[in-house]
Structure 1
Amino acid sequence: MSFSIAHLGPTGTYTETAALLLANWLNKKQETLPLLCPYPSIAQTLQAVAQGKANLAVVPVENSIEGSVTMTLDTLWQLDNLRIQQAIDLPIVHAFLSHSKTLSTIQTVYSHPQALAQCQGWLEKHLPQVQLIPTRSTTEALQSLGDDETVGAISSQRAAELYNLPVIACPINDYPDNCTRFWILGLNESPGGSHTSLAFSVRANIPGALVQPLQIFADRDINLSRIESRPTKRSLGDYLFFMDLEGDANHETLQTALQLLKAHTETLKIFGSYAVFPAKSMA
């Protein structure tokens, strides 16, 4: 069976770009080019690996402007058998695509919610009256263009080239240093690395319920690079917490901290320790 990588599709998404980098990198190491398998949602991408339909999944987890990708976090919490193998930091450059000759005719703009948010300033300045319609991916937004000169979409320049669509403006993201981190997940144990990701729920919503777990890491000089709360979906005000730590779970100090953490949590899930690669280092 060929080695396969699941990713958010269709062809032309930023996630596919990250998957292509991974595929080429693996090809150099293993002398076999993995097969890319697009899926219509992040949840289905992760489920494909959990169910053995693909070897690896590439999913966005955090953007430098808009923060965490909640669908990735929520789905990963629900799946118990996936482990992070590594991470890729990919620069994101958004383009505005349309068949219109001028912005003044645009009435509707389609794109993924993250892309719309990352270009909010540009949209408010140049297209303040347009209707913004979210799609499941930046490439899916292109299906709404047709030949309609009143419609625009936010996607990548690569997608514009793949689908032969005109670029009206680029870059349009509000901040030049726009970057998204992608996790590569599989069924194998994590290889170890500079970062460790985990999530936990607490037994009760009482004073100090979160302070005690955090103090464990502070007492051992373990830095938290990210912390995110998400509803457990059991009741209002009931949360679970996602954390990224700087350190390897195989090292004694972090191992001790994680053992102590179990005593202060209801459910603890360790997603793995892994290395983070800039996209240019994998080209």
Structure 2
Amino acid sequence: MAYSHWLNSGFAKEVMLCPCPSIAQTLYCVADEQADLAVVPVENSIGGSVAITLDTLWQLDQLQIQRALILPITHALLSNSVTLDNIKTVYSHPQALAQCQKWLEKYIGAAQLVPTNSTTEALEFLHQDQLAGAIASPRASQLYNVPILVPEINDYPDNCTRFWVLGKEPSTNGDCTSLAFSLPANVPGSLVKPLQVFAKRLINLSRIESRPTKRSLGEYLFFIDLEKGSSLHSVEEALEELATHTEVLKVFGHYNLLPLNFAATN
């Protein structure tokens, strides 16, 4: 729901928002043409990358990144309880729990922390348990009519999350490019050649990280974000050469990044 303003202003027609119970199911809905676009978190400035987003995107060949969104994150503790002393259980997405860990330990350290698929799902438990709290956005309080017990419980005030808007349309224009690849052999220096492809063309890599292939211990996939700089031609040349040094190469699209100035939560 936090994306409705951007989605409805970014398209000529009104957009219907369809919540899904998990990130993976959100992506599969678009891949199976049950929805046109998916908006999923990929990286948080505090909690790091969202592994399920990367792993699922690697498994799917149809999806392309249409846009990246950067949202400031404000977490609040929502509850039907009138006092913190009554809170015995706190529900939320694992990322939200991690981003409020210090506050939780300081003020309700004895409470049980229960991870959920999303912050929206966490709110469902509040109707059943008057002694429970949920970490979600202040906006969620308005949408789902749940009182805010404590506002702004983030451990870090400058918390931001990067989201990807994914669809099946080809994504060929933009200042950012995201890709992933596996290597043909796990030997010394096997990662150097792919990285040199970008270095010799002075293409800046804004992010690189590894994820296990799930085939064998010590085998990894490498996810890279790069900035186009002054020449898309150089990027296309680099991708052509990169393909010769990798086992499997997947380019998730060329897209632009849009910072948003309203608070949300993952």
TM-score for both structures, normalised by structure 2: 0.93
SS of aligned partner of 2:78: strand
Is 1:63 matched up with 2:44? yes
SS of aligned partner of 1:171: coil
Is 1:223 matched up with 2:204? yes
Shift of 1:147: 5.9
Contact conserved, 1:108 with 1:152, CA < 8 A, in 2?
A: yes
The aligned residue for residue 78 of structure 2 is: 97
Find the aligned partners of 1:48 and 1:248 in 2 and give their Cα distance.
33
The aligned residue for residue 42 of structure 1 is: 23
Is 1:162 matched up with 2:143? yes
Shift of 1:82: 0.8
Contact conserved, 2:72 with 2:261, CA < 8 A, in 1?
A: no
SS of aligned partner of 2:74: coil
Residues 87-140 of structure 1: CA deviation (Å, up to 9, x unaligned): 111111000012222222222110000100011111111112221100000011
Q: Which amino acid aligns with 1:26?
A: G
The aligned residue for residue 6 of structure 2 is: 22
Contact conserved, 2:99 with 2:155, CA < 8 A, in 1?
A: yes
Contact conserved, 1:62 with 1:182, CA < 8 A, in 2?
A: yes
The aligned residue for residue 180 of structure 2 is: 199
Shift of 1:21: 2.9
Q: Which amino acid aligns with 1:141?
A: A
Q: Which amino acid aligns with 2:169?
A: N
The aligned residue for residue 224 of structure 2 is: 243
The aligned residue for residue 252 of structure 1 is: 233
Query: Taking every aligned residue pair, what percent have the same amino acid on both sides?
Result: 61
Q: 2:66 aligns with which of 72, 85, 89?
A: 85
Contact conserved, 2:40 with 2:165, CA < 8 A, in 1?
A: yes
Find the aligned partners of 1:262 and 1:73 in 2 and give their Cα distance.
20
Query: Closer, same or farther in 2 for the Cα pair 1:88/1:21, shift >3 Å?
Result: farther
Find the aligned partners of 1:146 and 1:47 in 2 and give their Cα distance.
29
Identify unmatched segments of 5+ residues in structure 1. Answer: 1-15
Find the aligned partners of 1:38 and 1:260 in 2 and give their Cα distance.
40
Query: Closer, same or farther in 2 for the Cα pair 1:38/1:192, shift >3 Å?
Result: same
Find the aligned partners of 2:128 and 2:200 in 1 and give their Cα distance.
61
Contact conserved, 1:249 with 1:273, CA < 8 A, in 2?
A: no
Aligned positions of 1:128-147 closer than 5 A: 128-146=109-127
Find the aligned partners of 1:76 and 1:67 in 2 and give their Cα distance.
17
Identify unmatched segments of 5+ residues in structure 2. Answer: none
Is 1:209 matched up with 2:193? no
Q: 1:174 aligns with which of 128, 131, 155?
A: 155
Find the aligned partners of 1:84 and 1:127 in 2 and give their Cα distance.
39
4+ aligned runs moved over 4 Å, structure 1: none
The aligned residue for residue 278 of structure 1 is: 259
Shift of 1:153: 0.9
| Higher relative contact order, chain-length normalized (CA < 8 Å, sep 6+) | 2
Contact conserved, 1:212 with 1:264, CA < 8 A, in 2?
A: yes
The number of residue pairs the alignment matches comes to 262
The aligned residue for residue 9 of structure 1 is: none
Find the aligned partners of 2:258 and 2:83 in 1 and give their Cα distance.
40
Find the aligned partners of 1:175 and 1:160 in 2 and give their Cα distance.
21
